[in-house]
């Protein structure tokens, strides 16, 4: 009978028919150890069908042997025969040494089938049987992590960290850091990011580190991490907005604007970076650049309300009232609208002394902003200037009701 090593060699050389003939000879032999060893070897080489036949032969001889049932489940899983794998695993006795391993594989299979509650149940049982086994805790922690149950995941990862820092190539520091970020516990995540960074050069991890540092108020760390990421991968577009914001929080507006401009060059279709850059430019007095970037943000997304309103208010501030009217008209022509547009138009028309148009827009805006004190204040004074005293009285009564001690409103009501 051909030795197992020779059969493996023939398989590796592509002599499949010859190899299969000798596999069958071993299968029909009485040497159970050879059958099992060959099955394990050829399974590791990817010959799952042939391995399965050998394991099935052994199962006939040892129908209750957990190790064989487990091996059959593994091979069946590799062959895409998950339901058959489940049947093999469910046959493994609770007293069998392979039972905890069977629970782990069951958990994995049920998760893959979308039966997550059953998966959790199996992994919890495995953890109860082997409470000190890191791989079992890790499997359950990973399931919680994937389900978004980050608090439960953190508890398990923290327990694992007492004995292990890496399992199956996964950094426990990294998992803890990311779980804590997902819980909004940014400051608590930073020590784990620091330790994970020594083991993992993942650019996504570097971004998350910077993100966590930013939200924890650790702006120098955020700047350092986002800058490092920019040097490694300048096309990582998400970094620019946060790096710019970190510089702004550090009161370096010029540097923040430079970073925003870099981000715009790298990602010219990112409306958020255009908006943020425009806000920075406005703070630095660069109105021309702010208007340009806001216009580009709106060109990317004609329904980008925040950019539209920001540009409209900037036009008002710069006394570019005709531009306000043109802006709203062009946006509405694209099928976009918002009650705030009427307020913008009302203010612009009023400043242009087109009082009839202004009154019409104020009335429309009033339907939506009837409880907005800033709007009512502006509308009330417009009505006074337009000699609409009865309407003005109603507006100032509302304002006085909200602010009973306001001498200005009392005086106006006494005069009209």
Q: Is residue 162 part of a domain?
A: yes
- CATH code at position 377: 1.25.40.10
Rounded to an integer, what distance in angstroms lies between the CA atom of residue 285 and that of residue 278?
10
**Does any domain span residue 400?**
yes
For residue 195, tell me if it sits in a domain. Answer: yes
**C-alpha span between 36 and 61 (Å, rounded):** 12
Residue 372 belongs to a domain: yes
Q: Which residues of the chain have pLDDT under 50?
A: 1
Contacts of 157 (CB under 8 A, 6+ apart): 141, 172, 175, 176, 179
302 neighbors 331 (Cβ within 8 angstroms):
yes
Q: Which of 182, 199, 216 is the last residue of a domain?
A: 199
Asked if residue 168 belongs to a domain, the reply is yes
Beta-carbon count within 10 A of 163 CB: 12
**Segments forming the whole domain that contains residue 192:** 146-199
Distances (CA, A) of 62 to 50, 57, 65, 66, 69: 19, 9, 5, 9, 9
Within 8 A by CB and 6+ apart from 357, the residues are 345, 349
Determine the pLDDT at residue 232. 94
Residue 100 confidence (pLDDT): 95
Residue 191 lies in a domain: yes
Q: Is residue 375 part of a domain?
A: yes
| The domain boundary residue, chosen from 199, 230, 260 | 199
Q: Show which of 154, 181, 199 is a domain's final residue.
A: 199
The mean predicted confidence, pLDDT, of the chain is 94
- At residue 27, the pLDDT reads 86
Residue 20, CB half-sphere, CA atoms under 13 Å: how many? 9
Count of the separate structural domains present in the chain: 2
pLDDT tens profile 230-244 = 999 999 999 999 999
Instruction: Please report the pLDDT score of residue 1 as a whole number.
Output: 45
* 393 inside domain: yes
Q: Which residues pair with 170 in a beta bridge?
A: 167
Integer-rounded Cα radius of gyration of the chain: 35
pLDDT at position 200 is 60
- Single pTM value for the model: 0.81
């Amino acid at each position: 009978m051909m030795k197992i090593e020779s059969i493996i060699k023939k398989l590796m050389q592509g002599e499949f028919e010859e190899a299969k003939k000798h596999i069958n000879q071993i299968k029909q032999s009485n040497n159970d150890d050879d059958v099992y060893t060959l099955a394990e070897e050829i399974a590791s080489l990817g010959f799952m069908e042939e391995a399965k036949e050998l394991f099935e032969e052994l199962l006939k001889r040892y129908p209750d042997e957990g190790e064989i049932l487990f091996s059959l489940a593994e091979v069946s899983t590799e062959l895409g025969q998950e339901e058959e794998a489940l049947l093999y695993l469910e046959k493994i006795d609770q007293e069998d040494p392979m039972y905890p391993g069977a629970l782990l594989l069951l958990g994995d299979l049920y998760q893959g089938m979308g039966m997550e509650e059953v998966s959790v149940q199996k992994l919890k049982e495995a953890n109860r049987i082997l409470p000190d086994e890191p791989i079992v805790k890790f499997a359950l922690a990973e399931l919680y992590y994937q389900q978004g149950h980050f608090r439960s995941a953190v508890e398990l990862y923290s327990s694992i960290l007492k004995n292990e820092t890496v399992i199956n190539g996964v950094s426990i520091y990294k998992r803890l850091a990311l779980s804590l970020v997902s819980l909004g516990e940014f400051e608590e995540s930073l020590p784990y990011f620091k330790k994970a960074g020594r083991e993992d050069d993942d650019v996504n991890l570097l971004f998350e580190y910077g993100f966590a540092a930013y939200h924890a108020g650790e702006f120098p760390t955020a700047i350092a991490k986002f800058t490092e990421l920019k040097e490694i991968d300048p096309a990582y577009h998400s970094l620019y907005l946060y790096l710019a914001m970190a510089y702004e929080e550090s009161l370096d507006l010029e540097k923040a604007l430079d970073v925003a401009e870099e981000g715009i060059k790298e990602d010219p279709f990112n409306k958020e970076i255009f908006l943020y850059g425009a806000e920075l430019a406005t703070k630095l007095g660069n109105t021309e650049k702010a208007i340009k970037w806001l216009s580009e943000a709106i060109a990317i997304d004609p329904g980008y309300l925040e950019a539209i309103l920001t540009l409209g208010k900037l036009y008002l501030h710069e006394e570019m009232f005709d531009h306000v009217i043109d802006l709203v008209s062009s946006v509405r022509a694209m099928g976009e609208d918002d009650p705030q547009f009427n307020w913008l138009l009302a203010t612009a028309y009023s400043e242009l002394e087109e009082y009839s148009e202004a009154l019409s827009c104020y009335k429309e805006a009033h339907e939506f902003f009837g409880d907005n004190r800033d709007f009512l204040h502006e509308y009330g004074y417009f009505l006074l200037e337009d000699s609409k005293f009865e309407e003005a009285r109603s507006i100032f009564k509302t304002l006085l009701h909200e602010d009973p001690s306001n001498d200005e409103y009392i005086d106006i009501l006494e005069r009209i």
